[in-house]
């Protein structure tokens, strides 16, 4: 996907990028490719693939939520900034927090945010640890291909305000969706939409899972990651 095709594709999603936003994305891609020569951030760095598999893919979230009406957004396991940094560039109204346990990736994001003069909060840590002072503080939580859906639900939903939305960005997630029923009930949340589609050009499958939270989360959640993972592994292997 070249830049012109990208601009047209996101326009079809309902987003018209300003010249400055387009320039910021160009800087992002170039800086990512250069930085990746010395620090392993991602296997996808060349321009056409970044514009399709990172930038466009990140923005498909707007199929499910109007980000012009959102204040606070948390991206758990942001990696090299996908989708959170892309969303901040394209929706400057957002107060974005990027959370990752890999300090090398956060160092890259710190340099990038300074280069682009963006106000973004960067947090080095694990989701089950950062929750202590940040329970129910976010309107929207997003994750992109970080872990299985039942694990992500338990890690993400405690951060949501009541009536907030968790958007999980996955490739193929039918088995994971079925395995999430029990934990979603315990978290007083439910799936309100599943949006399956293909990326343009390469036609790889994508799934957006939109989950709404209806009541405050019991403070025993999230549990320690290893405990969550063990329980979910048992569910998925049944």
Domain ranges of the chain: 3-237
Query: Is the omega angle on the peptide bond into residue 222 within 30 degrees of 0, that is, cis?
Result: yes
Task: Determine the pLDDT at residue 236.
Answer: 66
pLDDT tens profile 48-104: 999 999 999 999 999 999 999 999 999 999 999 999 999 999 999 999 999 999 999
- Regions in the chain scoring below 70 on pLDDT: 235-238
Task: State the pairing for strand pair 160-170/205-213.
Answer: antiparallel
The topology (CATH level 3) of 3-237 is Rossmann fold (3.40.50)
Maximum C-alpha span of the chain: 51
Give the helix/strand (H/E) hosting 29: helix 19-35
Contact 94, 59 (CB under 8 A): no
Q: For the whole model, what pTM was predicted?
A: 0.96
Query: Is the omega angle on the peptide bond into residue 236 within 30 degrees of 0, that is, cis?
Result: no
Structure tokens, 78: 């942001």
Structure tokens, 171: 């490739």
What residues pair up with 122 in beta bridges, in sequence order?
Answer: 98
Structure tokens, 109: 């994001």
- State how far the Cα of 236 lies from the Cα of 174, in Å rounded to an integer: 11
Where b means 16+ CB within 10 Å and e means fewer, 135-151 reads bebbbbbbbbebbbbbb
């Amino acid at each position: 996907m070249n830049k012109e095709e990208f601009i047209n594709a996101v326009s079809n999603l309902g987003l018209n990028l300003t010249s400055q936003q387009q320039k910021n994305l160009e800087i992002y891609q170039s800086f990512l490719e250069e930085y990746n020569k010395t620090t392993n951030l991602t296997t996808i760095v060349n321009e056409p693939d970044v514009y399709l598999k990172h930038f466009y893919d990140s923005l498909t979230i707007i199929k499910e939520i109007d980000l012009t009406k959102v204040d606070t957004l948390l991206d758990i396991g942001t990696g090299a900034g996908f989708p959170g940094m892309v969303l901040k560039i394209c929706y400057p109204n957002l107060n974005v927090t990027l959370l990752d346990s890999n300090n090398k990736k956060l160092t890259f994001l710190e340099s990038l945010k300074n280069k682009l003069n963006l106000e973004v909060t960067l947090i080095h840590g694990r989701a089950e640890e950062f929750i202590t002072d940040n329970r129910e503080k976010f309107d929207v939580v997003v994750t992109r291909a970080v872990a299985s859906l039942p694990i992500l639900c338990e890690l993400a939903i405690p951060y949501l305000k009541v009536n907030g939305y968790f958007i999980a960005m996955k490739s193929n997630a039918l088995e994971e969706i079925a395995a999430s029923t029990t934990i979603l009930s315990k978290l007083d949340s439910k799936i309100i939409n599943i949006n399956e589609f293909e990326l343009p050009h390469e036609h790889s499958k994508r799934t957006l899972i939109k989950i709404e939270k209806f009541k405050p989360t019991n403070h025993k959640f999230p549990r320690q990651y290893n405990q969550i993972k063990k329980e979910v592994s048992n569910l998925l292997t049944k």
